[in-house]
């Protein structure tokens, strides 16, 4: 990763923040992207004080022009892009019947279209460097989760997009990694949108029992080095994906029962 230029969206917290620190430790030049200027500034300062190199760009990935501008600024600063980590994401929690369609649109705009926009403008430079496009998906991109219709839809769409992109560029030696963490200790559930668009506020799950965002970041970097196509994390995540291939109806019931036990389950 020495001197690689790495763009990380959603870098202000969670997996993105951990990726920023881990890439910088390996000598990468990190471009931090998110909407929270104060958080980005703090993370970038810590990286640079510890001998790393980083810049930050305030971007709303759901806005195409923001994504185009972000790529232009990165090229102006570093002249190349080696790795794009499409990590920016938002979750939701509501049965579809009670879900305002604006919430569905917002989740798709950030989780899916944000990755499309960033990849579109970064791709010419990544192809030049024989680099990597990374999409942070979810087990919800393999199995639809009840109460998470918009979230699952966005992750299924993301995986279809990235898989098509990989095959389309098979002769160009483009590396595309789809990473599917299981439940990860981050603030994504605290910021998850409810049916009316308000933030959930408190996580309905035991965060301390989940895989750490630092562990996810290290697994991701290792998969990039090995140029893997997919990375599914956590034992329960791997088991869900495996069983779903052969016993989808059985897994439907397992997932329903598991998710319905969450405190304040909407179904």
Q: Which segments of the chain does DSSP mark as H helices, in order?
A: 14-25, 37-49, 64-78, 101-108, 114-128, 149-168, 213-225, 235-246, 248-260
- CB 1, CB 31: distance < 8 Å: no
Closest CA to 95 of 146, 60, 32, 47: 146
Question: Across the chain, how many H-helices and E-strands are there?
Answer: 9, 11
Q: Which helix (H) or strand (E) holds 86?
A: strand 83-86
Calculate ∠ Cα 202-206-207, nearest 5°. Answer: 80
Buried b (16+ CB within 10 A) or exposed e, 139-169: bbbbbebbbbbbbbbbbbbbbebbeebbeeb
Six token digits for residue 235: 């034992």
- Distance between CA atoms of residues 238 and 132, nearest Å: 23
- Distance between CA atoms of residues 132 and 5, nearest Å: 11
| Residue 151 annotated as catalytic | yes
Active site residues: 151
């Amino acid at each position: 990763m020495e001197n690689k230029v790495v763009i990380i969206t959603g870098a202000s917290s969670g997996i993105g923040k951990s990726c920023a620190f881990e890439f910088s430790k390996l000598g990468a030049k990190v471009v931090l992207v998110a909407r929270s200027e104060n958080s980005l500034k703090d993370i970038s300062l810590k990286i640079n004080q510890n001998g790393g190199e980083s810049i930050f760009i305030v971007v709303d990935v759901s806005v195409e022009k923001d994504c185009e501008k972000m790529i232009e600024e990165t090229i102006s600063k570093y002249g190349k892009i080696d790795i794009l980590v499409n990590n920016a994401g938002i979750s939701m929690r509501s049965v579809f019947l009670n879900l305002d369609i604006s919430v569905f649109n917002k989740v798709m705009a950030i989780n899916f279209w944000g990755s499309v926009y960033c990849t579109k403008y970064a791709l010419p430079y990544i192809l030049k460097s024989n680099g990597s496009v990374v999409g942070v998906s979810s087990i919800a991109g393999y199995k639809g989760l009840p109460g998470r219709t918009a979230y699952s839809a966005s992750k299924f769409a993301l995986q279809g997009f990235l898989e098509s992109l990989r095959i389309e560029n098979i002769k160009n030696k483009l590396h595309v990694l789809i990473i599917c963490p299981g439940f990860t200790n981050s603030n994504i559930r605290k910021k998850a949108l409810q049916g009316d668009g308000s933030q959930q506020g408190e996580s309905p799950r035991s965060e301390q029992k989940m895989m750490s965002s630092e562990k996810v970041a290290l697994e991701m970097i290792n998969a990039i080095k090995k140029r893997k196509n997919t990375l599914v994390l956590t034992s329960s995540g791997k088991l869900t994906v495996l069983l779903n291939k052969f016993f989808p109806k059985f897994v439907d019931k397992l997932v329903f029962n598991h998710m319905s036990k969450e405190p304040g389950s909407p179904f």
